[in-house]
């Protein structure tokens, strides 16, 4: 694992991508600090992070698009399979390197509240609680981007899908206001999600029986619930979109509440998508 970690970290600092990632993040947060903390004389640094979270739509796909896709394109992933380490160690080594690259600009950003505190009253506990949540939310998005990169050998495609996924998650709360709240509308949307889940399971496992079985169980459960108590499905889809939003949970920290459920949710997302990344590589190994 340490060999993979060192190799990835060395390659990041020999490429322009890392510096573009750090520059965009620092520039966007710096712009927010200028608008809120300096020009508007607002002491809440957490508002700056809320403003800066939009930059994840661009920088996460840029940083993660090559992490596995490039290995597949150049066929160097075959070398990873020959190493005397498990697939989990490969994924964790690559992911830890991503976190170090992300941690460097975050370390610089963490100095901002201390600087502003010299010129006014800054709520340091809230500011640093928000910085911690901002870091973990970014780590969750990096895990999602890493999984997307594992699905293709085309970096451009990985970046495009990553931008679409992060952008949808960012605006999911706004979009939920336009989603049907009827039971029938919820059933149709859930059927689409089941089809997507079927495709993912089939792609990762190459096991049609497993994909069919999981899909049929979910489909049967939804239909039973629809005919027994359709009112339980009313408004379910907007609620799901709100619950799954990474950015919406960050708003609790912006409002001065250290939400442990949000931290647990972010860590769960990280573990889940790292697991999917491992399964994606395992599928390629056995193929």
Higher-confidence residue of 277 and 242: namely 277
H/E/C letters for each residue in the chain? CHHHHHHHHHHHCCCHHHHHHHHHHHHHHHHHHHHHHHHCCCCCHHHHHHHHHHHHHHHHHHHHCCCCHHHHHCCCHHHHHHCCCCHHHHHHHHHHHHHHHHHHHHHHHCCHHHHHHCCCCCCHHHHHHHHHHHHHHHHHHHHHHHHHHHCCCCHHHHHHHHHHHHHHHHCHHHHHCCCCCCHHHHHHHHHHHHHHHHHHHHHHHCCHHHHHHHHHHHHHHHHHHHHHCHHHHCCHHHHHHHHHCHHHHHHHHHCCCCCHHHHHHHHHHHHHHHHHHHHHHHHHHHC
Most trustworthy range by pLDDT among 59-73, 252-266, 272-286: 252-266
Higher-confidence residue of 36 and 111: namely 111
Most trustworthy range by pLDDT among 109-113, 147-151, 173-177, 181-185: 109-113
Most trustworthy range by pLDDT among 66-70, 151-155, 179-183, 275-279: 275-279
Tens of pLDDT along 181-227?
A: 777 777 887 888 888 888 877 776 667 787 888 888 888 888 888 78
Percent of the chain at pLDDT > 90 equals: 25
Q: Quick check: 103 pLDDT over 90? A: yes
Higher-confidence residue of 130 and 175: namely 130
Question: pLDDT band for position 150 (50/70/90)?
Answer: confident
- pTM of the model as a whole: 0.87
Count of CB atoms within 10 A of residue 179's CB? 17
Which pLDDT value is given to residue 176?
74
Which pLDDT value is given to residue 269?
94
Q: Quick check: 17 pLDDT over 70? A: yes
Average predicted confidence (pLDDT) for the chain: 84
Q: Quick check: 39 pLDDT over 90? A: no
Average pLDDT (168-191) is 79
Which pLDDT value is given to residue 77?
62
Which pLDDT value is given to residue 116?
86
Q: Do 173 and 140 meet the contact criterion of CB atoms below 8 Å apart?
A: no
Q: Quick check: 168 pLDDT over 90? A: no
Q: Quick check: 105 pLDDT over 90? A: yes
Tens of pLDDT along 1-15?
A: 777 788 888 888 888
């Amino acid at each position: 694992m340490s060999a993979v970690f060192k190799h990835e970290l060395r390659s990041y600092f020999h490429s322009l991508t890392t510096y573009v990632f750090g520059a965009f993040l620092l520039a966007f947060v710096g712009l927010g600090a200028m608008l809120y903390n300096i020009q508007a004389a607002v002491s809440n640094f957490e508002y700056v992070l809320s403003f800066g979270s939009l930059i994840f739509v661009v920088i996460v796909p840029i940083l993660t698009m090559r992490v596995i896709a490039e290995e597949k394109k150049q066929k160097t992933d075959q070398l990873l399979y020959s190493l005397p380490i498990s697939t989990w160690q490969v994924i964790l080594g690559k992911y830890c390197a991503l976190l170090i690259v992300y941690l460097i600009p975050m370390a610089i950003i963490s100095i901002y509240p201390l600087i502003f505190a010299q010129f006014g009253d800054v709520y340091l506990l809230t500011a640093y609680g928000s910085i911690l949540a901002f870091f973990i939310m970014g780590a969750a998005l990096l895990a999602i981007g890493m999984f997307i990169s594992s699905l293709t050998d085309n970096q451009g495609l990985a970046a495009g899908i990553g931008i679409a996924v992060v952008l949808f998650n960012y605006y999911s709360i706004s979009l939920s206001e336009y989603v049907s709240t009827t039971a029938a509308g919820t059933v149709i949307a859930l059927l689409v999600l089941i089809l997507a889940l079927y495709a993912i399971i089939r792609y990762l496992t190459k096991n049609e029986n497993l994909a069919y079985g999981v899909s049929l169980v979910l489909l049967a459960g939804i239909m039973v619930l629809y005919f027994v108590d359709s009112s339980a499905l009313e408004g379910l889809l907007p609620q799901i979109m709100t619950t799954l939003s990474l950015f919406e949970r960050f708003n609790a920290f912006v409002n001065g509440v250290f939400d442990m459920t949000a931290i647990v949710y972010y860590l769960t997302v990280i573990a889940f998508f790292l697991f999917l990344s491992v399964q994606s590589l395992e599928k390629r190994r056995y193929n």
